[in-house]
Homo-oligomer: A and B are copies of this chain.
Amino acid sequence: MTEFFNVMPPAQALETLFRRWTVAVQSEMVPTAEALGRVTAGPVRSPISLPAFPRSTVDGYAVRAADTVGASEGLPAYLTIVGEVPMGQRATLTVGRGQAAIVHTGGMIPEGADAVVMVERTHRLDERTLEVLRAVAVGENVIQVGEDVQAGEEILPAGHRLRPQDVGGLLGVGITQVAVARRPVVAIIATGDEVVPPDREPGPGQVRDINSYTAEAMVRRAGGIPRLMGIVPDDFEALLERARQGLAQADMLVLSAGSSVSVRDMTSEVINRLGAPGVLVHGLSIRPGKPTILALCDGKPVFGLPGNPVSAMVAFELVVTPALWRLQGTTPPEKRRVKARLLRNLSSVAGREDYVQVRLVEREGELWADPIFGKSNLIFTLVRADGVVRVPLDATGIPAGEEVEVVLHEG
Contact = CB atoms under 8 A, between A and B. Distances in A.
Interface stretch (A50-58, A277-285, A363-371): A50-58
A376 interface: yes
A33 B213 contact: yes
A120 to B, nearest CB: 9
A149 B205 contact: no
Given A168-B213, A169-B383, A213-B33, A194 B88 contact: yes
A105 B259 CA distance: 6
Contacts of A206: 88-89
B89 A205 contact: yes
Interface string A303-339: 0000101000100000000000000000001111000
Contacts of A379: 50, 148, 165, 168-169, 172
A172 to B, nearest CB: 4
A174 interface: yes
Contacts of A189: none
- Stoichiometry, copies per complex: 2
A26 interface: no
Contact of A380 (B53, B169, B199, B213): B169
A317 to B, nearest CB: 9
Given A104-B259, A205-B91, A376 B57 contact: yes
A307 B57 CA distance: 11
Interface of A is mostly: loop
Given A165-B383, A313-B164, A383-B169, A193 B86 contact: yes
B50 A380 contact: yes
Given A169-B210, A209-B171, A260 B104 contact: yes
Interface stretch (A70-78, A216-224, A243-251, A389-397): A216-224
Interface of A: 32-33, 36-37, 50-53, 57, 59, 85-91, 104-108, 119, 143, 147-149, 155-156, 161, 163-169, 171-174, 176, 192-195, 198-199, 201-211, 213-214, 216-218, 220-221, 234, 259-263, 307, 309, 313, 333-336, 374-376, 378-383, 385, 409-411
Given A91-B205, A169-B210, 4 more contacts: A36-B221, A86-B205, A87-B260, A336-B336
The 10 tightest CB contacts between A and B, nearest first, are A90-B204, A88-B194, A164-B217, A148-B378, A105-B259, A168-B214, A165-B382, A171-B198, A104-B260, A88-B193
18 contacts: A32-B198, A50-B378, A57-B375, A59-B261, A87-B193, A87-B234, A88-B205, A105-B259, A163-B411, A165-B379, A165-B409, A168-B213, A168-B217, A171-B198, A171-B209, A173-B208, A174-B199, A333-B411
